[in-house]
A and B are shown apart, each in its own frame.
Chain A
Amino acid sequence: MHRRSLLAGAAFALAIGSASAAAQQRTEVTFWYGLGGALGERVQEQVDRFNRSQDRFRVNATFRGSYVEVMTGAIAAWRAGNPPHIAQVFEVGTATMMAAGPAIKPVHELFREAGVDIDPKRYLAGVRGYYSDTQGRLVSMPHNSSSALMWVNLDAFEKAGIRDIPRTWREVREAAQKLKAANATPCVMTTTWPTWVLFEQQSAIHDVGLATKANGFEGMDAELQLTHPFFLKHIQFIADLQREGLFRYGGRDNAAGNLFPSGECAISFGSSAARAQIERDAKFRWASVPLPYHDDFIQSPRNGVIGGASLWVLTARNRTPAEYAAIAAFFEFISRPEEDAWWHQVTGYVPLTTAAYEKSKAEGFYERNPGADAAIIQLSRAEPTPNSQGFRLGGMVEIRNIIQEELEKVFQGQQTVAQALEAANRRGNQVLRNFERANRS
């Protein structure tokens, strides 16, 4: 309240003193994001363009630390009654945000009230599905979405005499053996984001649910099914690779992020948004291709799922319709084909809209940057099934860490794969039950 009357006072004073009164009466909204470095600069650039493109609204974007810090900060601010208008929340926070009821304003509602007419079909299916409710209405605004890819060092492949880039896990194993025999790189293979890549992506590609109830989309009473034979098979496969010295565990989350661009490991799995970093740092020829699959489990792999973050509209007691209109206008702006195509091309995130994908194609972006469309192909190569549309599991951050912890015990040789999956399943389900209980209305 105070701040607003102060702002109004300041605007009044300026209106007297200057001719640009109209510019001062812009409706201001705050936007907290969690992308640092070059990606954060791109966010600011786009916000600046939005502010210049019209004179009714102004978005004030601030970098608030990591994804976790943005989310906890925004939640704490909401509890204190003064949240940002827009908060960027990573995909694993989706269920927590969706369960927040009065704290958030669903995007479809925002658009309807602001009179912005956006067809949800405009967004890529793999992106839209993750952030929609069961009726297919957008709840949060897609913003930066990536998918996991396989990155390969072509110089190392050549040294090992490998001609074709592997498409299946069987071929990956053969390639890894050749790489090791040729001693092409100090480390053969690693992965970033172990849970996201080895569990979430692989379960979607192989059409196996990570959890029941369509991975939580159909209700909070979903249960993890990490003991499913597929996970047993796949994690055993990875554990065997590690035992044979073909796979190196590089740490949690993005801790292994430097192992590929530095030339240490010849194969890595990770986010398509790592493209900018790899382009800058890698001193060798490389390629990015869709993730491998087990051809003895599925003949034609399904679509992968996205990672990244979306934008959530937070409510507050003193929000005005003008503020919501400003948010809607900003969301409409970043969904325009030219804006979206720009975002996709400069960041390595997938385009949010089909139009931006078509535009990038027409501009010849993928011919100039081979592999830049691998993530899009992987996301849209099949119609999403209940197992591959995404995850809506409460406490997903914690579940991811639990899986990483149990995996680490496998890689240490402290427990078998079956024991790890059983423990992760039990501990993860406990998290789901706690979440269900805390969010029961």
Chain B
Amino acid sequence: MRKKVIFPQIGLPYLLLLPQLAITVVFFFLPAGQAIWFSFLRQDAFGIRTEFVGFENFVELFQDPLYRESIWITLVFSFWVTLLAMSVALGLAVFADRQIRGATAYKTLLIWPYAIAPAVAAVLWIFIFHPQIGLLGRFLNGIGIRWDYKLNGTQALITVIIASAWKQVSYNFLFFLAGLQSIPRSVLEAAAIDGASPARRFWTVVFPLLSPTTFFLLVINLTYAFFDTFGVIDALTKGGPAKATTTLIYRAYIDGRVNLDLGSSSAQSVVLMLAVIALTALQFRFIERKVHY
């Protein structure tokens, strides 16, 4: 049985929660509500002429082959960003968890990228990937591989996946490291004494014990890939070439902010919101069963 804290009056707990609730309402529920309302409207940029159009914005969206294409791009993009960001972070965390000289310095360096703004990060990647001024880009072209992410859609997608995943590695690293450090040494020692190899110890003991962390990070990373990556895409490829790197969130951003079509952009936000709600619900329903707490 969990111990419950009993408040004498009913008002106080709500009062204590009020600041957080107020923030949630003002910054999350109101904008989300507004997006839902706007998704049923068609407006000019200034909002002078407004017409209620029902589900027309949604119908148009799903009739647009380019929108369907960007759903597919988003899935590919999110899958790879999540996989890369999580596996690299896990690998790094396992290594950083060992007894090594200067571990704190490594850890600090690994956490750094998280503090870098997406636009700045993208500029750094330009200096690596750009076909003319980038280190790697020049090298690849030098050895005869035609590298030009401005014209090659696959290369553009690879570029934004790497840049987006890199941003998230730090965050994942922190959580994996904390997760690793909370695994009792005795369990590992017992496994070692039983003669389990390091690889076997990792897969049969460490990885299952990390599963709450992994599950949490899976949700966070998918949400990141879905919602939080348009800064990198905007600075690196602007969704191109053609539409090769236009993910759902980037398209919602472009249609709303650049093309000033708030109705369609809101409809896209609503679709995204529903998608992520569904995805998270699915994850809790099916994957959480396999998680050991």
Give the B-binding residues of A (Cβ under 8 A). Answer: 68, 72, 75, 78-79, 96, 99-103, 186, 249-253, 255, 258-259, 264, 395, 397-398, 401, 404-406, 408-409, 411-412, 414, 431, 434, 437-441
Contacts of B241 in A (CB 8 A): 405, 408-409, 411-412
Give 9 CB contacts A-B under 8 Å: A72-B257, A249-B150, A264-B132, A395-B260, A405-B242, A405-B243, A406-B242, A408-B242, A438-B44
Closest to B43 in A: A438
Contacts of B45 in A (CB 8 A): 75, 96, 100
Q: Which of B152, B240, B260 contacts A96 (CB 8 A)?
A: B260
Contacts of A412 in B (CB 8 A): 151-153, 241-242
A252–chain B nearest beta-carbon distance, Å: 6
Q: Which of A72, A250, A264 contacts B150 (CB 8 A)?
A: A250
Contacts of A395 in B (CB 8 A): 259-261
Contacts of B257 in A (CB 8 A): 68, 72
Contact, CB under 8 Å: A72 / B260: yes
6 extra interface residue pairs, beta carbon distance < 8 Å, beyond A404-B240, A405-B241, A408-B151: A68-B257, A75-B45, A100-B45, A395-B260, A405-B243, A438-B43
Compute how far the CA of A250 lies from the CA of B132 in the bound complex, rounded to whole angstroms. Answer: 10
Contact, CB under 8 Å: B260 / A252: no
B12–chain A nearest beta-carbon distance, Å: 34
> Nearest 3 A-B pairs (CB), nearest first?
A408-B241, A398-B259, A251-B150
What size tier do the contact residues of chain B reach? 20 to 34
Taken residue by residue from 244 to 258, chain B's Cβ proximity to chain A (1 for < 8 Å, 0 otherwise) reads as 000000000010011
Most buried by A among B152, B257, B259: B259
Stretch at the interface among B46-54, B89-97, B213-221, B223-231: B46-54
| Main SS class of interface, A | helix
Contacts of A75 in B (CB 8 A): 45-46, 260
Contacts of A79 in B (CB 8 A): 46-47
Most buried by A among B42, B46, B240, B261: B46
Closest to B150 in A: A251
Q: Which of B46, B133, B258, B261 contacts A100 (CB 8 A)?
A: B46
Closest to A69 in B: B257
Contact, CB under 8 Å: A414 / B44: no
Contact, CB under 8 Å: A405 / B42: no
Contacts of A252 in B (CB 8 A): 238, 240
Contact, CB under 8 Å: B242 / A397: no
Q: Which of B49, B151, B153, B259 contacts A249 (CB 8 A)?
A: B151
Compute how far the CA of A438 lies from the CA of B43 in the bound complex, rounded to whole angstroms. Answer: 5
Contacts of A68 in B (CB 8 A): 257-258
Compute how far the CA of A101 lies from the CA of B47 in the bound complex, rounded to whole angstroms. Answer: 11
Contacts of A408 in B (CB 8 A): 151, 240-242
Contact, CB under 8 Å: B48 / A102: yes
Compute how far the CA of A441 lies from the CA of B49 in the bound complex, rounded to whole angstroms. Answer: 7
Contact, CB under 8 Å: B152 / A100: no
Contacts of A258 in B (CB 8 A): 133
Compute how far the CA of A401 lies from the CA of B258 in the bound complex, rounded to whole angstroms. Answer: 10
A259–chain B nearest beta-carbon distance, Å: 7
A370–chain B nearest beta-carbon distance, Å: 29
Interface residues of B in 82-138 (CB under 8 A from A): 132-133
B135–chain A nearest beta-carbon distance, Å: 16
Contacts of B240 in A (CB 8 A): 251-252, 404-405, 408
Contact, CB under 8 Å: A411 / B151: yes
Compute how far the CA of A255 lies from the CA of B132 in the bound complex, rounded to whole angstroms. Answer: 12
Interface residues of B in 60-83 (CB under 8 A from A): none
Contact, CB under 8 Å: B238 / A438: no
Compute how far the CA of A441 lies from the CA of B44 in the bound complex, rounded to whole angstroms. Answer: 10
A64–chain B nearest beta-carbon distance, Å: 14
Given the known interface contacts A101-B48, A249-B150, A251-B150, the answer about A438 and B42 at a Cβ–Cβ threshold of 8 Å is yes
